[in-house]
Each structure stands twice: as C-alpha cells, then as structure tokens.
Amino acid sequence: MQMKTNLERRKFIKNSVAAGALLSFPTIVPARVFGANDRVNVAVLGVNGRGKNHIKGFMKQDNVQVTTLCDPDMVLCRKRAAEFEETYGKKVETVQDLRHVYDNKDVDAVSIATCNHWHALATIWACQAGKDVYVEKPGSHNLWEGRKMVEAAAKYDRIVQHGVQLRSSKAIREAVQLLHDGYIGNVYMARGLVYRWRPSIGDKGFEPIPEGLDYDLWTGPAPMRPFTRNLVHYNWHWHWDYGNGDVGNQGIHETDLCMWGLDVGLPQKITSMGGKFLWDDAKEVPEVQTSIYHYPDEKKMIQFEVRHWCTNLEDGAGVGNIFYGDKGYMVIKGYETYETYFGRDREPGKSGKEGGDHYANFIEAVRAHDKTILHGPVETAHLSSGLAHLGNIAYHLGKVLTFDPKSEKFVNDPDADKMLTRNYREPYVVPDVV
C-alpha cells in the first residue's frame, strides 16, 4: 500500500473542497488553497558534494525545512549535521539508508545528490513512496532506466525536477526563446563545451572499508568491487560502473541546452572518439572526447567536446554552448549569460545576464502539485542524460551508430542495445514495471 504524504492529504482535501465549491462558485475558487503554515519538509540524499548546495538551496526557501540528511557514510553525514546546526541553529536527523527516509511520512520531498548510479533507482523508489523529487544531473546512469523514471513519475503522479539549474535562469530562458523565434536565423547546429581542469587522480589501490561507511549501500545497483579511494567519494565520476565521464557530469547542463535550443529529441546518428592522452591514472573514462549527434530529418547537428587540461576558450566560453544560424550565432557562457553576433563582421546583437532559482521553481510546483510549472521536468532528465549515454556507447564501440528515437533502440545492432541498460545487483534493481 502506498503511503500518503502530508501534501497528498492536503491535496485530497483541497480537491474535495474545490469540487463542492465548483458546483455553485466555479469562477472564484483559487487554484490552490495551501495555508501559510504548510511547510514542505525535504530530505537531502547524498551530502558530500552537490548535496551541500541542495541543503543551502532549500533552506533559502520560504516555509521549507531540510529535516533529514542521508548518506551511506555516517561520518560524513554527522559532519554535515553539525555544520547544519551551526549554520541554521537547528538539529537535523541523520539517516544512513535512504529506504528509511522513504518510510518517514513526514518527509514530503527528497533531493537526490548521490552518485550517478543511484539517481534513477532512488527517484523511482521515492515516487513509489509518494515523495516528490529533485534529482541531480544526470538523471540516469543509462538510457533505459531514464525511461523508467519518466514512467514512475507519471504512474505515481509525482513532481520530479531535474537539476539542470540553467533552465531556471531568466537570461538563458530568454536566449532559448530567441533561438526558437529565429533571431539568429535558421539554427542548424549546436556545440556543447566542457573544458574543465581535471588533473590526474593517481591510483590509490585497495584498502579496508573505512569506519562508518556502508559500502554495500554505497555500491547499490553497481557491481561490487573492493573498496578504493579511487571511487569514494568524488572520483567515481571517472569509472563506468558509477559515473559517465564529464559528458555525463558537467556536460549534462550543455547536452540539455543543446537539445532545448535546437528543439530536438534523441538523434538518429551518433559517433564519438577520444581517449586518455596525458595521465596514466585510475580513470576509465576518456579525458578528451568529441561526440557528434546527427538529426538528418531535421537537418540539425550537435557537436559535443570534453577537454580536461590546457586549452583555449571559445568566445570566452569554456563551459557552455554555441548555437549557429544562417544570420549569426549565440554564445552561452555558464549558467546565466548569453551573447549574440551577426554576419561576417560579428556585429554584436542582444545579450543578457541573469540567473534564477531552480529550487524555488521545484517548491512552487510541489505546492501547486502541477508538473507544468517545472522548468526541468523528468523528461529532460531522460533526454539530456540519454544524449550523453548514446555518445558514450558510440565511444565504447568505436563506430557510427544508427538509433531509432521512437523505440529508443539501435537499428540492427544488438551489441549497442546491450549497453542501453545494465545488470543490476540485488536488491538494488530498477524494475521492468515501476
């Protein structure tokens, strides 16, 4: 039996009252009737890196309270709880196993900042438990489980926001509207840029599991390996069982914006090439990678580049996007700045710089229980993450792949199809039927 959260109970009451009122007063019933004391309680899952930002972001919101911190590493979790009490003057519950968080009827929403390999399953379990979800990028670790996230959000009627915060930037939203309105002409190509300083991580070897870490829980759906600090806590990004390289890390912001700006979904042709050229370290993923995504029916293309060391910027953009039209081009820098240039002489056009609050957008959608309010709905998590996954599959196989966006399968390529999902480790299994 699915547990009803406080928000669900309020929604039931609201709908019941509204239904009765509509019989005689159809024009004056408000869209929502939450009172001022309807606090949204949030649990943050994963508190090492981005989780710190999640705590800060939600504690800034009106009438929102982070009540729970959850991490397989209880030493780290207790450290964050002490920092929380010092910063906010309040105690916060610490939990090691996210399943106990989902059992707590007082938690209305969960904010997932775990390792990539946990994102989809944690989201699906949360939806099944009646929780709304804010999930970090990438939404999924592989393409198949991203589709299962979409199905779970729909089946359990949950609000699921993908953590691509540039979608809440007022300047970037303006920029995308300009692209769609033809401001730089016929937009035929987008480039995603991830030029991040990524030094060698060395090779730290194996060692005993440290005190306080539930390593089985940390490993979750992935295969069990001997413990190494090559993985825990941050460097899992560079290992295929847990992360997706920089195209599936920082790059998800840019894959998302490429697709959004071009107004396209998943591509039909994919190829990718790259490698490790400088460091003989424990990373498995390519440090330099270039992927091409072709949309022959739409006559559009995405180029995506990952560079990891000394490099030039592109019109000032090292992390961002460039869109090309037949009248000019647009440069997106970071999360809140755009510039446009026209003609052979690159005459400056419109520009903008203004951010936004992705956490506030999520909370607004939660309070209204309205998915249409979301700037980064679960479908964006599936598609933008899926673009990165397709590029990585092409990199692994070393050939041009043909993909059917409708079936979300490769065309006559069983080897590639096998890489659309993974073998899940019991009991941490993404189900076929969510």
What is the average pLDDT across 91-119? 98
pLDDT tens digits, residue range 316-331?
A: 999 999 999 999 999 9
pLDDT (0 to 100) of residue 2: 40
| Extended beta strands in 276-428, E state | 288-295, 300-307, 319-325, 328-333, 337-342, 347-353, 401-404, 409-410
pLDDT (0 to 100) of residue 419: 98
What is the average pLDDT across 260-276? 98
pLDDT (0 to 100) of residue 24: 29
SS3 assignment, position 251: helix
pLDDT tens digits, residue range 398-419?
A: 999 999 999 999 999 999 999 9
Answer yes or no: is pLDDT of 173 > 60.
yes
Answer yes or no: is pLDDT of 180 > 80.
yes
**How many other β-carbons are positioned within 10 Å of the β-carbon of residue 329?**
21
Whether 267 and 260 have beta carbons less than 8 Å apart is answered as: no
What is the average pLDDT across 373-381? 98
Distance from C-alpha of 380 to C-alpha of 265, rounded to nearest angstrom = 10
What is the average pLDDT across 280-284? 98
Q: Which two tokens stand for residue 329?
A: 């081009």
Q: In what order do the strands lie in the sheet with 109-112?
A: 93-95, 64-70, 40-45, 109-112, 132-135, 160-162
What is the average pLDDT across 325-342? 98
Q: How many CA atoms lie within 13 A of 340 on its CB side?
A: 23
Domains of the chain, start order: 6-166+359-376 (3.40.50.720), 168-355+385-418 (3.30.360.10)
Pairing of strands 160-162, 132-135: parallel
Percent of the chain with pLDDT over 70: 91
Answer yes or no: is pLDDT of 35 > 90.
no
What is the average pLDDT across 254-274? 98
Q: Which two tokens stand for residue 97?
A: 């196993």
pLDDT (0 to 100) of residue 427: 97
pLDDT (0 to 100) of residue 37: 62
pLDDT (0 to 100) of residue 383: 98
pLDDT (0 to 100) of residue 1: 37
**How many other β-carbons are positioned within 10 Å of the β-carbon of residue 237?**
21
pLDDT tens digits, residue range 13-24?
A: 334 333 333 332
pLDDT (0 to 100) of residue 3: 39
Answer yes or no: is pLDDT of 32 > 60.
no
Percent of the chain with pLDDT over 90: 91
Alpha-carbon torsion, ordered 208, 209, 215, 221, to 10 deg? -30
What is the average pLDDT across 285-314? 98
pLDDT tens digits, residue range 186-226?
A: 999 999 999 999 999 999 999 999 999 999 999 999 999 99
**How many other β-carbons are positioned within 10 Å of the β-carbon of residue 15?**
12
What's the sign of the alpha-carbon dihedral 215, 221, 225, 228? negative
Answer yes or no: is pLDDT of 26 > 70.
no
Answer yes or no: is pLDDT of 7 > 50.
no
Residue, of 434 and 5, whose pLDDT is higher: 434
Vertex 54, ends 126 and 77: CA angle to 5°?
80
Q: How many CA atoms lie within 13 A of 205 on its CB side?
A: 2
